[in-house]
Amino acid sequence: MRDNMAPFSTPHRHESIRLRCPHKSGYQRTQDDGRSGFGGCRTRAALDDLFSTEQTDDQNKVLFSLSVTKRWLEQATLGLTMIAHASMRGVVEFMRDVLGVSISLGTVHNIHQRAAQRAVVINDSVDLSAIRVGLHDELFQGSQPVLAGIDAASTYCYLLAAEDHRDGDTWAVHLLDLQARGLNPDYTIADAGTGLRAGQKLAWPGIPCHGDVFHIHQQFETLVNIWARIASGVRSLREALEARLANPRRRCQDHLLVAELVALRQLEARSSQRADDLRTLAQWLERDILSLAGPERAARQELFDFIVDELHQREPEDPSRIGTMRVALQNQRDVLLAFARVLDDKLAAIARAAAVPDFLVRATCLLHRKPDTSGTFWQGWNRLHAAMGRKFYGVWSAVSQAMQSTPRSSSLVENLNSRLRNCLTLRRHLNGSRAWLGLQQFFFNHRRFMRSRCSERIGKSPREAMTGEEHPHWLTLLGLGPLQPRQS
């Protein structure tokens, strides 16, 4: 007897089906088993087999077997919480309903506590001397700040600590501890946080801290959107007043409405012009000044000062917002353009090594702004190739590598925040625990990438990408390995 409530009900396998073949307009064929036929008939039969609710021998066939031991259950418990982001109560329910195993919430907690203690020990034993660029930021889980630090090249998280304060002394203590473990980067990248920068200046006085272009772009974009909404609101008022004047049944004096309409049109013109000006300035800042493919640092500074001056001229119209943006740019000019000095030094070294003029190397850098699907890109490619000959391919590869190895923002820390928030939301009672954050940090650093935009990271963990040395599976490192091979 078939289940009449099945979501995809199909005829019985032995019933006779009359189907009209779409390729033969007048052709009808009777199928006895749903497997023969032409064109769409085969498709229909395949769909019937796919969505059939009947139990077949293939569905009941044992594919492989696992030896369910206590260690395997502990592996499954950690895998559910760390990989699948399940809650601890969700693990208890899964064990009960799917595996038929009774496990208490306390047992699940103890498994994670033992793993976290081992993870903290492993985290503290890793040598950090290979890190050349560090990314620092302050994350917030609720009201509690979490201090975070990530290697820009490998995404290895070397700092993840919940603290009551985020002042300079707190940052300095953690940075000194990291320095004792070998961390000595060429420079770091961070936003304009005063505590963060004060702590690095106190702990690492000789290491510069570059500015983060992501936050300044976001702040400028917010200002542009505010003025765009202001202009849109004035436009809506003007259109409503014009519709009111066009209504033949209005009962008021026309000269009052006309005067109000004139004022609205003037306000709309000013607000629209201001929104367009701010959008243009934001685009110049993003595409011409703070982009990797750009002019030398001196030219960027002149363009940067031009943006600040244009904002200063428009500041009287909106001191609270435009003035705040102008001050932020003016105070951060040198740190925001610090990456340009690093890139200039790399391009100059490429020019010396390849024995080509500096302006040709700079032109190669600027060519990266064009998409390789445009005719302009290939015209520039041909000109540079004709000017440098066979050296061009080596210069192009070296310039591309130099640009990829010159980070400008701490966005990887923001990415960590998005991943960390999902994990800690399910276990808020453990958010302030050093051991629990240590377990999360260990998992991020030892879980291998299944996919990545950087091909050199695929199949490697952040720790393997940083050190260049392989390590066992993260469950094995926690004392819960080796992983059990399936038995066919």
327, 233: one domain: yes
225, 349: one domain: no
Residue 320's φ and ψ, nearest 5 degrees, are: -70, -35
Are 120 and 435 contacting, i.e. CB atoms less than 8 angstroms apart? yes
Q: How many Å apart are CA 174 and CA 183, to the nearest integer?
A: 11
Domain count, the chain: 4
pLDDT in tens, 9-39: 333 433 333 334 444 444 344 444 444 444 5
73, 135: one domain: yes
Q: Which range of residues forms the domain containing residue 194?
A: 69-211+412-488
Give the pLDDT confidence score for residue 327 in this predicted structure: 95
Query: Is there a cis peptide before residue 295, judged by omega within 30 degrees of 0?
Result: no
217, 309: one domain: yes
Does a structural domain hold residue 349? yes
Give strand pairing partners of 140: 145
139, 200: one domain: yes
Does a structural domain hold residue 96? yes
317, 364: one domain: no
Does a structural domain hold residue 398? yes
Does a structural domain hold residue 397? yes
Taking each helix axis from N to C terminus, what angle separates 254-284 and 213-246, rounded to the nearest 10 degrees?
A: 160
Does a structural domain hold residue 98? yes
92, 146: one domain: yes
Domain final residue, candidates 284, 309, 336: 336
80, 205: one domain: yes
**Which tokens go with 278?**
């701010």
Residue 210's φ and ψ, nearest 5 degrees, are: -75, 160
249, 267: one domain: yes
Q: How many Å apart are CA 83 and CA 90, to the nearest integer?
A: 13
Does a structural domain hold residue 133? yes
Domain final residue, candidates 388, 404, 420: 404
User: Using CB atoms within 10 A of its CB, is residue 477 exposed (0-12), middle (13-18) or buried (19+)?
Assistant: middle
323, 199: one domain: no
Give the pLDDT confidence score for residue 342 in this predicted structure: 95
Give the pLDDT confidence score for residue 18 in this predicted structure: 39
Give strand pairing partners of 190: 211
How does pLDDT run along the chain (488 residues), one tens digit per residue?
A: 444 433 333 334 333 333 344 444 443 444 444 444 445 677 777 777 666 666 566 777 888 888 888 999 999 999 999 888 888 899 999 999 998 989 999 999 899 999 999 999 999 999 999 999 999 998 876 677 889 999 999 999 999 988 888 899 999 999 999 999 999 999 999 988 899 999 999 999 999 999 999 999 999 999 999 999 999 999 999 888 888 887 777 666 677 778 888 888 899 999 999 999 999 999 999 999 999 999 999 999 999 999 999 999 999 989 999 999 999 999 999 999 999 999 999 999 999 999 999 999 999 999 999 998 999 999 999 999 999 999 999 999 999 999 999 999 888 888 887 777 776 665 555 545 677 888 999 999 999 988 887 777 888 999 999 999 999 999 999 998 778 776 65
Taking only Cα atoms into account, the Rg of the chain, rounded to an integer number of angstroms, comes to: 32
**Which tokens go with 468?**
């260049």
Does a structural domain hold residue 433? yes
Give the pLDDT confidence score for residue 56 in this predicted structure: 62
The CATH number assigned to the domain holding 166 equals: 3.30.420.10
Are 171 and 198 contacting, i.e. CB atoms less than 8 angstroms apart? yes
82, 202: one domain: yes
Written as one letter, the residue type at 354 is: A
Give the pLDDT confidence score for residue 363 in this predicted structure: 95
CA neighbor of 487 nearest in space, from 130, 167, 63, 139: 63
Does a structural domain hold residue 2? no
Domain final residue, candidates 299, 316, 336: 336
354, 394: one domain: yes
